[in-house]
Each structure stands twice: as C-alpha cells, then as structure tokens.
Amino acid sequence: MLARLLAFMTDRSIFAGTSGLRKQVSKEVEKVVLRDKEGQEIDPDLIISGYLTKNAASYFAKNTAGVCTAGNMELFNRPDHFHVNLVNEEGIVVGNIQGYLITYNGQPALIFRGFNPSNSFISATNAEVLCDQMLDIIRQIAADNHIDQILVPEQDNWHPLTNRTGLGIEKYFANKFFNPANKVNFPFNITRNKVVNTFYRIT
C-alpha cells in the first residue's frame, strides 16, 4: 500500500513542492473545455454575468458599454426601469440589457429590451453564445423574483429589441420566440416618442 501511495504521489509531482502542484493544477485546468447547450466549445473570453442595478455608478457604466440610452436621464429616473450590466470574467462591462417591471393581466411581468453587447464584443460568429447567456440571465432574474411573465419587444425601425442589427440577436429571438402563440399586443412607452406595441413571451 505504501509503495502504491509513493508511486501515486511521484506520478503527480506532489514531491516537487508548490511549484509541482501548480504545474499539475495548470495541466488539469487546461483540460477543462467550456461548451454551449449544443456541445460546441465556447471561448472562455465570451463568458458573461449579469448584474441587475439602478445605481449611479452603474449608470456611468452604461456609457462605457456604448449603450444608446446611456445619457437618457428621463429613462434612468423612471421607477419601473432598471438595467442589467453584462460583465465578462475580468470584471469589464461588455454590454447592457434594459428592464422594466410592469403589471400585465393583473400579474407582475418583466419587459427586457435593448439586448446590446458592446460592438467590440459581439460578432455574427458569437451572437448565439451571448444570446444563450443573456436569455439565462433574464430568466434567472424572473425566477429570483417569482415572476412568471417575461416579454421582449418585436424589432422595428428604431430597434427596441437590439441596436446590434445584422449580428444575429434579432434572428436568435425571432427563431425561438417570435410566433403567433407567444405574441401579445399593448402599448408601452419607452420614451415620449418611442412606443412598443408588440411583444413576445419568453417561455
């Protein structure tokens, strides 16, 4: 038994001290491969987290992400409005999602719009990976707050769903959710001049 233990320890560089252990841990970490829901390998640099907030510091963080509503104080002061900062593994803000808490059919509901990863972050090749994560984030926010209804707007010429047109975000949501069974219609003012009339339920 002792011989086996010594062989085990030697084989794993345990006698090499902390440097040997670090080397072994590094080898194991290199074996870890992140995969999406279809089993495709994911670039670790594309992993994002969502931070729901409505504080002053986060307001300025929207500016760093290149969000079009970053300077909109009217929107920021709305009691029903909040935003979700998208942050990469290095703690850098790489995008934003707009959120609204409303009442729909007598029940609390969440509207999410402006799915806007930074232009420097998103591309047509990684949109699906980022959209999967953004979808998980908004579903988690709803679940944490015991809200069953999630709505996203239909894309139109002023881009209420996303400003990152042609990069796959609108296609992602359209393919998954934009069908007659999920469609609901009611007017919702984003600003004085911008109104969304068509939404789709996220299931």
Residue 4 pLDDT level (bands cut at 50, 70, 90): low
pLDDT at 9: 47
pLDDT over 80 (residue 76): no
Q: Which among 114, 107, 96, 8 has a CA at the least distance from the CA of 60? A: 96
pLDDT at 69: 52
Q: What ranges make up the beta strands (E) of 17-165?
A: 48-53, 81-88, 93-104, 107-117, 149-153
pLDDT at 116: 93
Are 51 and 58 in contact, with CB atoms under 8 Å apart? yes
Residue 134 pLDDT level (bands cut at 50, 70, 90): very high
pTM: 0.76
- Locate the domains of the chain by residue range: 1-32, 44-201
Q: Which tens digit of pLDDT belongs to each residue from 80-105?
A: 999 898 999 888 888 999 999 999 99
Instruction: Domain 44-201: state its class.
Output: alpha beta
